[in-house]
Structure 1
């Protein structure tokens, strides 16, 4: 390899995302030796053909893979390398779950007594509600609160809310045992996902607020704990209060609607609500789409959605029929059961003519 094709260690480090000191370490460990070393100065040079290996090495280390595992992955054929990565990730997830269970036991031992009762619900009902609402969360490093679930308790109800700013889901439940007083907090979505299966297997779950989280007491089974998030939750009440007036409505069967969305070839879909039907077709055209019988009111409307926004809102809705409350092509659509209104989801459309323009947010 000619000198003109080589990169000094600093330039190579910038290209592959590793530091110069990390490159020296990986060279000494035999994982990524330089293409050449100047015999006089000791300067290290790398070739462009080493960038892919260096990038893969960095990514494997970012998922906490030990050096021996990295070496095995880099030396293996593609199928075996994928298996090794999957096995490592499964171990990491298992270790994290075990750590969470142990941490829960530690927190329980430090609790010093029961927390503030904030309601009691049937386990399957609570688990369903948690999983339905959590579909509206998002993992964003800069806004971790968008991965959380807002829990609000008052003497008559427990309300669960989540939003990724382009979708908002909220469900209200009537507890068998009402809370002693009002309480509100935002719980870790990851903790709730880990707890959902255990909650579902419990006939009755009592919720108790602790200083830094909420306990889900299962009465004889393993209790579960969800941490409180400190960041302020988006003002979802203002988002709901500021919705425009409903100008049209469509009632459509859920399962055919869901199948029509799943059959669309692209990541964006168009709904045309008119003539006693909801027409589902790709936003970019080239596909005839599907016409679903519906009960409609109001003027005809053409509205565009990202499939990743609309599909979860439809799939988690309760009951065989859905009601869509329409407010215009650039306004949130409310999706709820036609006969049970305790789960409501707002889905924000996209501006199809300018796909790079930011969408309005729910909060």
Structure 2
């Protein structure tokens, strides 16, 4: 309390259930002006009669009455104050009805799931499925991560040596954000069914991924485990030093009959040179490395040499989108990013291997 029956701003704040900063704001708005302000200190002092006004302001603001309407209620006659309150309550009721209607639509969309082109989903699953682990040493890596957000659906798989991720634009987005890890074997026979459909709806329910289309439903069990943070892996990639753009089919044709032999790449300004480098598995005989084969390619950056296991490289090339592939190379011992030269939807990481011998890549 202050002298002359006045109340300090702190005292009024306690009495009204407001904060001192709110009282200063209401002073600036002209809603609750102190009866005196000390010219030296700037302290605000209020009368006891202003406590009721402060409580009323708090209650009106608590139900969302706008400041200008609060002022009219406080300073107008009782009949006008009642009309303004009735109008505000009616507006709140209308907003509640609108919110309920929007909520019903969103709930229906959540239950319905996200709608995709069935052909696009089938292609995406096939493109990433081969990157899932074949063994069950780490069970979650034998699965495909399916993520649905407001504007995209992403499927991702990795076996630690290769990573493939594909983003798709939904025909109709879902009202929910969710993710599920689906056993890759559950997706094995689903492609033929999807290719018979125009569109498919996908949702996550009861620990399963549910796909609906053409009057039929398919359910895939989910793996209850945390998936590796592949986005952090992608964000943490080293800067690209050398970029190679080549025809995918030409590269696959060279590799087609090389079996389980290490594949060595050498890239320079004249293109891409590829040779086999002997078997990765032990053998009674020591096979000779092949003569390098030249593949026309656009190469930017310093000359580079690196090797791959065919079990990781071939699937990455087979699943690539489009006639050309782009290889982004940071180092001979860092993941190589494989993607389409004209379509960035599919991104694959392939881990190089150590070169088995030191022979020069070209004759």
TM-score, with structure 2 as normaliser: 0.64
2:269 maps to: 275
Matches of 1:204 and 1:293, distance apart in 2: 39
Contact kept, 8 Å, 1:115 with 1:210, in 2: the verdict is no
Q: Confirm or deny that 1:217 pairs with 2:212.
A: yes
Q: Confirm or deny that 1:253 pairs with 2:247.
A: yes
Contact kept, 8 Å, 1:148 with 1:189, in 2: the verdict is yes
Matches of 1:116 and 1:140, distance apart in 2: 34
How far has the Cα of 1:276 moved from its partner?
A: 3.0
Matches of 2:325 and 2:153, distance apart in 1: 23
Matches of 2:139 and 2:315, distance apart in 1: 20
Matches of 1:224 and 1:274, distance apart in 2: 49
Matches of 2:109 and 2:178, distance apart in 1: 16
2:343 maps to: 340
Query: Gapped runs of 5+ residues in structure 2?
Result: 1-107, 279-287, 358-363
Matches of 1:227 and 1:234, distance apart in 2: 19
How far has the Cα of 1:128 moved from its partner?
A: 0.8
Matches of 1:135 and 1:289, distance apart in 2: 28
Query: Gapped runs of 5+ residues in structure 1?
Result: 1-112, 355-363
Q: Segments of 4+ in structure 1 off by > 3 A?
A: 113-118
Q: Confirm or deny that 1:137 pairs with 2:132.
A: yes
Contact kept, 8 Å, 2:325 with 2:340, in 1: the verdict is yes
Contact kept, 8 Å, 1:151 with 1:187, in 2: the verdict is yes
Q: Confirm or deny that 1:183 pairs with 2:175.
A: no
Matches of 1:323 and 1:119, distance apart in 2: 31
2:231 maps to: 237
Matches of 1:260 and 1:116, distance apart in 2: 49
Matches of 2:109 and 2:170, distance apart in 1: 19
Please point out which of 344, 351, 355 is paired with 1:352.
355
Contact kept, 8 Å, 2:156 with 2:166, in 1: the verdict is yes
1:55 maps to: none
How far has the Cα of 1:182 moved from its partner?
A: 1.1
Pick closer, same or farther for the CA change 1:177–1:247 going to 2, 3 Å.
same
Structure 2 counterpart SS, 1:216:
strand
Contact kept, 8 Å, 1:148 with 1:162, in 2: the verdict is yes
2:65 maps to: none
Contact kept, 8 Å, 1:126 with 1:200, in 2: the verdict is no
Contact kept, 8 Å, 2:109 with 2:175, in 1: the verdict is no
Matches of 1:162 and 1:154, distance apart in 2: 18
Q: Confirm or deny that 1:305 pairs with 2:312.
A: no
Contact kept, 8 Å, 2:240 with 2:329, in 1: the verdict is yes
How far has the Cα of 1:264 moved from its partner?
A: 2.6
Structure 1 counterpart SS, 2:352:
coil
Please point out which of 149, 155, 163 is paired with 2:158.
163
Matches of 2:183 and 2:311, distance apart in 1: 22
Matches of 2:348 and 2:315, distance apart in 1: 10
Contact kept, 8 Å, 1:167 with 1:345, in 2: the verdict is yes
Matches of 2:295 and 2:231, distance apart in 1: 33
Please, what is the CA RMSD of the aligned residues? Answer: 1.9
2:167 maps to: 172
Contact kept, 8 Å, 1:156 with 1:175, in 2: the verdict is yes
Structure 2 counterpart SS, 1:176:
coil
Q: Confirm or deny that 1:149 pairs with 2:144.
A: yes
Contact kept, 8 Å, 2:110 with 2:175, in 1: the verdict is no
How far has the Cα of 1:352 moved from its partner?
A: 2.1
Pick closer, same or farther for the CA change 1:183–1:318 going to 2, 3 Å.
same
Q: Which moved more, 1:191-200 or 1:125-134?
A: 191-200
Q: Please list, as runs of the form range in 1=range in 2, the aligned pairs for 1:1-363 lying within 5 A after superposition.
A: 116-220=111-215, 222-264=216-258, 266-284=260-278, 285-353=288-356
